[in-house]
Amino acid sequence: MTYQTVETARRALALQFKSAAIDSAELDARLLTGHTLGLDLTGMITAAQRQLTHDEFARLENYARRRLAGEPVARIVGEKEFWGLPLRLGPATLVPRPDTETVVEVALEVMRTGGALDRPLRIADLGTGTGAILLALLSELPAATGIGTDISEAALQTAAANATRAGLSERATFIACDYASGLSGLFDLIVSNPPYIRSADIGGLAVEVRNHDPLAALDGGADGLDAYRALVPQSASRLAPGAALVVEAGEGQTGQIEALMVAAGLTPAACPKADLAGIPRAVAGHKTAR
Ligand code: GLN
C-alpha cells in the first residue's frame, strides 16, 4: 500500500477498511487521516494533493493497524462528539453513543412540557462516565446545575475535564458513589445510561465494544437489569414532586424498567422514545406532583 498524498492515503485506507467489512469504512478513513494530519474535513480537502511526510505515513499506518484489529476510531483519537460537544474518553468510560442522545431529547422534552427550561433546575446523572448526558443537558439548560456520579474516580476525572472544556465546570460537580447513593436533597431531573447488557451476552458484542468499552459500564448482571433495580428506587426518593427520571434501556427492557418504576412509586410516561434505529431506548418516569 502506498500513501502518497492526503487524498490517495485516505482512499487507500477506506478501501482497506471496506475489505475488512468495517461498516463505517469511509468515515473512519476520513477521521483517522484527519487526526494524523491535525486537519478537519475542510482542511483535508484543501490539503488533498499534499504529500504525506514519512512520520505522518507511519502514524497513519499504526492507526490503520489498530482500527483493523477492532479498536474504534473514537478510542484511537481519544475523543467522541456527543450532542455537538467534543468529549475526551478514558479507559473507564464508554464511548458515548448516538443512541444515548435519545435520553437527552426525552429529558429536554420533559422539562419543556413542565415549562422548566429557564428554571434553575437541579439535575443528577448516575454513572456519568464521560459526563455526556449531564453536559449535553447543561449546554441546553442555561440556569441548571448538575451532579454526575460514578464509582470510577478515573471516569469522574475525565468527566470533570470534559465539563471544563465545554465551559460548563461552574455548573457541574462530580462525586464518587454508586448511582444515587451519595446524593442528598431533591432533584428536578435524574438521568442515567447504566450498564444493561446481560452478562451472558457480553461475549457476543462487537469487538469494538467487547474489547474496548469498560466491562463495568456494560455488564448489567444475569438479566441486564441489576443497575435499574438499584437506581430506580434510589432515584424515586431523590426526585422532587413532579420531577422525572429518564433512563436509557437495552433492547427489549423498557417494560421491565417501567415495572420497576411503578414499584418505586413513579408513573412511567405514555411511551418510551425510540432511537434512530427504531429501538425503544429512553424511558421516563414521573414522581406525582403534590
Ligand atoms: N449501548 C451499549 C452497547 O450497545 C451498552 C451501554 C450500556 O450498557 N449502557 O453496547
Please list, in sequence order, all residues whose beta carbon lies within 8 angstroms of the beta carbon of residue 248, skipping any fewer than 6 positions away.
99, 100, 102, 103, 192, 193, 194, 196, 281, 282
Local confidence band at 1 (pLDDT 50, 70, 90 cut-offs): very low
How remote is the CA of residue 37 from the centroid of ligand 1, in Å? 31
pLDDT of 91 reads: 96
Matching CATH number, 84-287, of 3.30.365.10, 3.90.550.10, 3.20.20.70, 3.40.50.150: 3.40.50.150
Looking at the CA of residue 248, tell me the nearest atom of ligand 1: 9
pLDDT of 51 reads: 94
Residue nearest to atom 1 of ligand 1 (CA): 97
The three-state secondary structure class of 273 is: strand
For the stretch 183-197, pLDDT in tens is: 999 999 999 999 999
Question: What is the C-alpha to C-alpha distance for residues 217 and 221, in angstroms, rounded to an integer?
Answer: 11
Question: What is the C-alpha to C-alpha distance for residues 109 and 45, in angstroms, rounded to an integer?
Answer: 38
Domain boundaries, the chain: 6-69, 84-287
Residue 147 pLDDT > 50: yes
The three-state secondary structure class of 205 is: coil
For residue 152, the surrounding DSSP H or E stretch is: none
**Ligand 1 pocket check for 39: Cβ under 6 Å:** no
Residue 3 pLDDT > 90: no
Local confidence band at 118 (pLDDT 50, 70, 90 cut-offs): confident
Question: What is the C-alpha to C-alpha distance for residues 147 and 160, in angstroms, rounded to an integer?
Answer: 11
- pTM score, two decimals? 0.95
pLDDT of 2 reads: 54
Ligand 1 probe mutation, 94, 103, 193, 283, most atoms within 8 A of CB: 94
